[in-house]
Amino acid sequence: MLHLQNYFTIAQQEELLELARNIAAINGGMTTPTMPNGARYNCSQTSCGQVGWISDRKGYRYSKLNPESNKPFAAMPAELTEIARKLAILVDEPDYQPETCLINFYAASTKSRLGLHQDNTEHNLKPCIISISLGDDCIFSIGGNNRKDPTTELILRAGDALILHGKSRLAFHAVKKILPGTSNLLKNHGRLNLTFRQVY
Ligand code: SIN
Ligand code: MN
């Protein structure tokens, strides 16, 4: 795992926020998906790129169409492709193809979280997972490749990049808690996370 603290300047964070807002607007807003067991997520999501990650009663998967609109997801902005490829080079993946970016928004609430999971819906499980944090800090938990492995906690702050690669590619991870008001990037606080994946 590679945790790059303060990788993005405030100006870059503002630019990333603007790109994320545009993507959400093109997609007709963000949605709060349902898990296969029928429970709702405690964060809202949208995607850009050739496919988007979706979740509903039928399971977790990548889809060419946004189920909310039945239209393709917003294209990946060239700026995001470039950022992801640059980060992938740092973990020796010069051929990395950021095919999709999942955008998660966690409202400034004690309820916002993401349960322990493994990113394993990609068809190709080798390329790294690249995550960028914006807005409020969160307590992030990361363990091993088995759900029951012990976990350690770290704080992800605005401007941090986290790359799960090599041995950590399939590590279980969770967003345990948002620390509301720790950043002023978003007017009403809250946390935004951008996760790049090469799916194929
Ligand atoms: C995710 O695991 O999909 C998102 C992680 C995060 O919000 O930091
Ligand atoms: Mn994940």
pLDDT for the residue 193: 98
pLDDT for the residue 166: 97
How far apart CA 199 and CA 112 sit, in angstroms, is 26
Domain residue ranges in the chain: 2-197
For the chain, list residues with pLDDT below 70.
none
Q: Whose CA is nearest to atom 8 of ligand 1?
A: 193
Kindly list the protein residues that place their beta carbon closer than 5 angstroms to ligand 2, a single-atom ion. Answer: 119
CA 69 to ligand 2 centroid distance, Å: 24
Maximum distance among all Cα pairs of the chain, rounded to whole angstroms: 41
The verdict on pTM exceeding 0.75 is yes
pLDDT for the residue 65: 97
Q: Whose CA is nearest to atom 7 of ligand 1?
A: 193
**Tens digits of residue pLDDT in 114-143:** 999 999 999 999 999 999 999 999 999 999
Residues 58, 140, 143, 163, Cα dihedral to 10°:
90
Domain 2-197 superfamily per CATH: Alpha-ketoglutarate-dependent dioxygenase AlkB-like (2.60.120.590)
To test the pocket of ligand 1, the residue of 160, 164, 195 to mutate (highest count of ligand atoms within 8 Å of its CB) is 195
Alpha-carbon separation of residue 113 from 7, 64, 102, 105, 137 (angstroms)? 23, 26, 15, 10, 12
CA 114 to ligand 2 centroid distance, Å: 8
